Structures are given as C-alpha cells and as structure tokens.
Amino acid sequence: MHRHSKKLLAAASILALTACEDRDYFADGQLFDSWTQEAGAFVDEGQFGNPTMNNTLVQTGQRSYLVNLNARFAADVPSTINFAFDSTALDAEAQAVLMKQADWIRQFPEVQFKVFGHTDLVGSDAYNKRLGLRRAQAAVRFLSRQGIKRSRLKAVVSFGEAQPLVVTAERERRNRRTVTEVSGFVKNHPTLLNGKYAQVIFREYVKSAQERPTSAASNLAQTDG
C-alpha cells in the first residue's frame, strides 16, 4: 500500500512538472509568462468575474427579473435598428425605432441598457468590430438626446461580423444592426433598496389592472338603465 502511494505521488509530480513547462502563452498578440509577469497581467477575454456576478444576480433574484424585463422590452418595442452599408448614420426609420425605445426606457429609471453593434461579413474582422462599436455609440448618443442618462446606457464592444442573422458573404442589411438589451439595475436606486424588482417589471401591468372610480354621471346611467 505504501509503494502504491509513492507511485501515485510520483505520477502527480510528473504531471505538475509537465504543466509547468507550458507556462508561456499568447493573448492578443502578446507573450505572457506565468513566472515573470505580475499578477493580473493576463485575464480571460472579457469574462473575468462574470461567473461571480451571475451567481450574485441569481441568488438575489435579479437574474430572473432581468430576463423577464428584457423579454418585455423586446415584445413592447423593436430592439433592433439597421444601417446602410459601411455607415453609422441613423436614417429616419432607425430614429423612429430609437424614439420608441427611449419612450419605453424612460418608464423604468431603475434599469440600465446595453447597445450591441453588428456588421455584415464584408470587410476585415478588425474593421467590422470598430464599425459595429461606432454604430452602437451612435445609437447611445441618440437615446441620450431623448433624455436618457448616459450612465444608464452603454455601447459595448461590438460583435462585429461574429453574429450574423443571415450567413452570407454578400452585403446584407439585416446583419448591419444594433440591438438594445436590458443589462441590469441602477446601483443603489431608491426604488430597489427593498429588493422590489418585480414591482419594477410589472409596474404598468399593475396600474392597468387597478379599479378606476366611476363618475357620478355613469353611476346614474347605470341605475336608470
């Protein structure tokens, strides 16, 4: 039994030494050395901390409310606008959609939004990422001019050409778009201090379901009928 334990320990040591040999790696065109680089010199590409954040949202009940609110946003107003080829200009149709989005967003001052930029597959990936981000920034600027605080809006790193709706190498307007999504709640907003996220989401539904007082004239008409 003692000899068997020694064999397991030796095998584990060999695996550890083998893993240590593979300590140099590339990220974003830079060489990172786990022995000589400072702590935190390399983090995963945009995902660092996301699992912890997701767990926090789930445990506090915010995640399900965000999903529900985002579904309602997409059902109530168009979440997508489109662009001309190689352009960030907002045409009349795009502006009309953004106006509807702004009207909806103003109803929920506790909620934050992200705008994602996309392109078609024409052009290099690097150029399209920059173009997609500029499109998202154009949409955010327009929304902010409608009275939405910039702190509640974020143009995120573009998906570029990575998520086409229509897979084609040709020009495709449906792929040239931005998508607005609910991303979270405003930190420390007074409405949310008691964790009443459901009331935020269903606020308009609750208002519409409340009994409205009838006028004296209508009461008289009902009694005379």
Could you list the pLDDT tens digit for every one of the 225 residues in the chain? 555 555 555 555 554 444 444 444 444 444 444 444 444 444 444 445 555 555 555 555 555 667 778 888 999 999 999 999 999 999 999 999 999 999 999 988 888 999 999 999 999 999 999 999 999 999 999 999 999 999 899 998 788 889 999 999 999 999 999 999 998 877 656 555 455 555 666 665 555 555 555 555 545 445 444
Taking the whole predicted model, whether its pTM rises above 0.75 is answered as no
* Residue where the block lists tokens 């509807």: 100
User: In sequence order, what are the residues at sequence separation of 6 or more whose Cβ sits closer than 8 angstroms to the Cβ of residue 130?
Assistant: 158
Q: What does the alpha-carbon distance between residue 53 and residue 139 come to, in Å, rounded to a whole number?
A: 27
Q: What does the alpha-carbon distance between residue 163 and residue 37 come to, in Å, rounded to a whole number?
A: 34
CATH no. of 65-209: 3.30.1330.60
**Would you kindly state where each structural domain of the chain is located, as residue ranges?**
65-209
Q: What does the alpha-carbon distance between residue 144 and residue 163 come to, in Å, rounded to a whole number?
A: 26
Q: Where are the beta strands (DSSP E) in 58-204?
A: 80-82, 111-117, 153-155, 177-185
Q: Tell me 13's DSSP state.
A: H
